[in-house]
Amino acid sequence: MDLFSQDRLPNILPFDGTVHYYGKIFSADQSASYFEKLLQNIEWRHDEALLYGKHYVTKRKVAWYGDEAYEYRYSGTTKQALPWTTELKVLKAIVEEKSGNFFNSCLLNLYHDGGEGMAWHSDGEKMLGDDPIVTSLSFGAERKFSFKHKTTKQTVSLVLENGSLLVMREGSQKHWLHRLPPTKKVTRPRISLTFRKIIN
Protein backbone atom coordinates (compact mmCIF):
# COMPACT_ATOMS: atom_id res chain seq x y z
CA MET A 1 0.00 0.00 0.00
CA ASP A 2 1.36 3.42 -0.92
CA LEU A 3 0.47 7.00 -0.07
CA PHE A 4 -1.99 7.15 -2.99
CA SER A 5 -4.17 4.46 -1.39
CA GLN A 6 -4.60 6.22 1.95
CA ASP A 7 -8.08 7.30 0.97
CA ARG A 8 -9.12 3.64 0.98
CA LEU A 9 -8.09 3.18 4.61
CA PRO A 10 -10.88 3.56 7.18
CA ASN A 11 -10.45 6.27 9.80
CA ILE A 12 -10.13 4.63 13.22
CA LEU A 13 -11.42 7.79 14.93
CA PRO A 14 -15.14 8.68 14.67
CA PHE A 15 -14.52 12.46 14.69
CA ASP A 16 -12.02 15.24 15.53
CA GLY A 17 -9.01 13.54 13.99
CA THR A 18 -7.66 10.92 11.63
CA VAL A 19 -5.85 7.67 12.41
CA HIS A 20 -5.00 5.13 9.70
CA TYR A 21 -4.14 1.52 10.47
CA TYR A 22 -2.22 -0.11 7.62
CA GLY A 23 -2.12 -3.55 9.21
CA LYS A 24 0.90 -5.78 8.64
CA ILE A 25 3.38 -4.22 6.22
CA PHE A 26 6.07 -6.86 6.88
CA SER A 27 6.00 -10.64 6.61
CA ALA A 28 6.37 -12.80 9.72
CA ASP A 29 10.00 -13.56 8.85
CA GLN A 30 10.82 -9.90 8.21
CA SER A 31 9.16 -8.87 11.47
CA ALA A 32 11.07 -11.50 13.45
CA SER A 33 14.34 -10.40 11.87
CA TYR A 34 13.77 -6.70 12.60
CA PHE A 35 12.69 -7.48 16.16
CA GLU A 36 15.94 -9.33 16.90
CA LYS A 37 18.11 -6.68 15.25
CA LEU A 38 16.40 -3.88 17.18
CA LEU A 39 16.60 -5.84 20.42
CA GLN A 40 20.35 -6.34 19.99
CA ASN A 41 21.49 -3.13 18.27
CA ILE A 42 19.46 -0.38 19.95
CA GLU A 43 20.97 1.38 22.99
CA TRP A 44 18.08 0.63 25.34
CA ARG A 45 17.75 2.46 28.67
CA HIS A 46 15.09 2.36 31.35
CA ASP A 47 12.78 5.32 30.93
CA GLU A 48 12.74 8.03 33.60
CA ALA A 49 10.12 10.55 34.60
CA LEU A 50 9.87 13.41 37.08
CA LEU A 51 6.27 13.66 38.31
CA TYR A 52 5.14 15.91 41.16
CA GLY A 53 8.70 16.21 42.39
CA LYS A 54 9.34 12.45 42.46
CA HIS A 55 11.79 10.59 40.24
CA TYR A 56 10.51 7.38 38.65
CA VAL A 57 12.34 4.69 36.66
CA THR A 58 10.15 2.42 34.55
CA LYS A 59 10.59 -1.26 33.72
CA ARG A 60 9.94 -0.30 30.11
CA LYS A 61 13.06 0.61 28.17
CA VAL A 62 13.35 3.41 25.60
CA ALA A 63 15.75 4.87 23.06
CA TRP A 64 15.78 8.14 21.10
CA TYR A 65 17.30 8.50 17.62
CA GLY A 66 17.31 11.35 15.10
CA ASP A 67 18.82 13.18 12.13
CA GLU A 68 20.63 15.51 14.52
CA ALA A 69 21.40 15.54 18.22
CA TYR A 70 17.86 16.66 18.97
CA GLU A 71 16.77 16.99 22.57
CA TYR A 72 13.43 15.41 23.40
CA ARG A 73 11.84 16.74 26.59
CA TYR A 74 8.89 15.04 28.28
CA SER A 75 7.82 14.07 31.80
CA GLY A 76 10.47 16.32 33.28
CA THR A 77 13.37 14.58 31.53
CA THR A 78 15.54 15.35 28.49
CA LYS A 79 16.88 12.81 26.01
CA GLN A 80 19.67 13.39 23.48
CA ALA A 81 19.09 11.80 20.07
CA LEU A 82 21.53 9.11 18.92
CA PRO A 83 22.55 8.72 15.25
CA TRP A 84 20.41 6.37 13.15
CA THR A 85 21.36 2.69 12.99
CA THR A 86 21.28 0.84 9.66
CA GLU A 87 17.97 -0.86 10.52
CA LEU A 88 16.36 2.40 11.63
CA LYS A 89 17.33 4.15 8.40
CA VAL A 90 15.67 1.38 6.38
CA LEU A 91 12.53 1.37 8.52
CA LYS A 92 12.30 5.17 8.43
CA ALA A 93 12.37 5.14 4.62
CA ILE A 94 9.66 2.47 4.48
CA VAL A 95 7.41 4.33 6.94
CA GLU A 96 7.85 7.59 5.03
CA GLU A 97 6.94 5.92 1.73
CA LYS A 98 3.89 4.20 3.21
CA SER A 99 2.58 7.22 5.11
CA GLY A 100 3.57 9.99 2.70
CA ASN A 101 5.14 11.95 5.57
CA PHE A 102 8.72 12.91 6.45
CA PHE A 103 10.17 12.16 9.89
CA ASN A 104 13.47 13.22 11.44
CA SER A 105 13.41 11.34 14.75
CA CYS A 106 12.18 8.18 16.43
CA LEU A 107 11.33 7.23 20.00
CA LEU A 108 11.52 3.48 20.57
CA ASN A 109 9.88 1.55 23.39
CA LEU A 110 10.65 -1.97 24.59
CA TYR A 111 7.85 -3.62 26.56
CA HIS A 112 9.11 -6.88 28.08
CA ASP A 113 5.61 -8.31 28.55
CA GLY A 114 1.97 -7.28 28.89
CA GLY A 115 2.53 -6.02 32.42
CA GLU A 116 4.31 -3.00 30.98
CA GLY A 117 2.19 -0.37 29.24
CA MET A 118 1.67 3.34 28.73
CA ALA A 119 -0.83 5.58 30.50
CA TRP A 120 -3.22 7.98 28.75
CA HIS A 121 -1.30 10.77 27.02
CA SER A 122 -0.95 12.71 23.77
CA ASP A 123 2.24 13.58 21.91
CA GLY A 124 1.70 17.30 22.19
CA GLU A 125 5.15 18.61 23.05
CA LYS A 126 5.86 22.06 21.54
CA MET A 127 8.90 20.70 19.70
CA LEU A 128 6.53 18.56 17.58
CA GLY A 129 4.47 21.52 16.35
CA ASP A 130 0.82 22.41 16.74
CA ASP A 131 -0.71 19.31 15.17
CA PRO A 132 1.94 16.59 14.78
CA ILE A 133 1.73 13.39 12.77
CA VAL A 134 3.16 10.40 14.63
CA THR A 135 3.54 6.84 13.34
CA SER A 136 3.73 3.65 15.38
CA LEU A 137 5.53 0.64 13.93
CA SER A 138 5.12 -2.56 15.97
CA PHE A 139 7.23 -5.71 16.21
CA GLY A 140 6.69 -8.64 18.56
CA ALA A 141 3.63 -9.38 20.68
CA GLU A 142 0.24 -8.14 19.55
CA ARG A 143 -1.10 -5.49 21.93
CA LYS A 144 -4.33 -3.59 22.37
CA PHE A 145 -4.04 0.16 21.67
CA SER A 146 -6.71 2.64 22.77
CA PHE A 147 -7.81 6.21 22.06
CA LYS A 148 -9.94 8.47 24.30
CA HIS A 149 -11.44 11.79 23.24
CA LYS A 150 -10.28 14.61 25.51
CA THR A 151 -13.76 16.15 25.80
CA THR A 152 -16.40 13.45 25.23
CA LYS A 153 -14.28 10.64 26.79
CA GLN A 154 -15.41 8.29 24.00
CA THR A 155 -12.94 5.44 23.49
CA VAL A 156 -11.81 3.47 20.45
CA SER A 157 -9.49 0.45 20.53
CA LEU A 158 -7.70 -1.84 18.10
CA VAL A 159 -5.05 -4.56 18.19
CA LEU A 160 -1.61 -3.67 16.82
CA GLU A 161 -0.25 -6.71 15.00
CA ASN A 162 3.34 -7.87 14.61
CA GLY A 163 4.90 -5.91 11.74
CA SER A 164 2.05 -3.39 11.54
CA LEU A 165 1.93 0.36 10.96
CA LEU A 166 -0.39 2.90 12.60
CA VAL A 167 -0.34 6.57 11.51
CA MET A 168 -1.85 9.17 13.85
CA ARG A 169 -2.62 12.12 11.61
CA GLU A 170 -4.11 15.63 11.95
CA GLY A 171 -6.26 16.17 15.02
CA SER A 172 -5.30 12.91 16.69
CA GLN A 173 -2.90 14.49 19.22
CA LYS A 174 -4.89 17.69 19.64
CA HIS A 175 -8.24 16.07 20.46
CA TRP A 176 -7.43 12.51 21.56
CA LEU A 177 -5.37 10.71 24.18
CA HIS A 178 -3.91 7.27 23.53
CA ARG A 179 -2.48 4.48 25.65
CA LEU A 180 -1.13 0.94 25.66
CA PRO A 181 -3.10 -0.76 28.46
CA PRO A 182 -1.31 -3.41 30.54
CA THR A 183 -2.56 -6.99 30.35
CA LYS A 184 -1.68 -10.29 32.02
CA LYS A 185 -2.58 -12.19 28.86
CA VAL A 186 0.56 -11.14 26.98
CA THR A 187 3.82 -12.78 28.04
CA ARG A 188 6.03 -11.93 25.05
CA PRO A 189 7.91 -8.63 24.45
CA ARG A 190 6.95 -5.90 21.98
CA ILE A 191 9.03 -3.14 20.37
CA SER A 192 7.35 0.01 19.09
CA LEU A 193 8.98 2.67 16.93
CA THR A 194 7.22 6.03 16.98
CA PHE A 195 8.56 8.16 14.15
CA ARG A 196 7.96 11.90 14.46
CA LYS A 197 9.16 15.26 13.14
CA ILE A 198 10.94 17.73 15.41
CA ILE A 199 10.22 21.36 14.50
CA ASN A 200 13.21 23.64 15.06
List of domains in the chain = 3-196 (2.60.120.590)
Strands 19-24 and 164-168: antiparallel
The structure's pTM equals: 0.90
Q: For residue 78, what pLDDT is reported?
A: 72
pLDDT (0 to 100) of residue 4: 44
Q: What is the pLDDT of residue 172?
A: 98
Q: What is the pLDDT of residue 8?
A: 83
State the pLDDT at residue 49.
65
Query: pLDDT 10s digit of each residue in the chain, 200 long?
Result: 454 456 689 999 999 999 999 999 999 999 999 999 999 999 999 876 665 667 577 789 999 999 986 776 665 667 789 999 999 999 999 999 999 999 999 999 999 999 999 999 999 888 899 999 999 999 999 999 999 999 999 999 999 999 999 999 999 999 999 999 999 999 999 999 999 999 87
All residues at 6 or more sequence positions from 69 whose CB lies less than 8 Å from its CB, including other chains: 80, 81
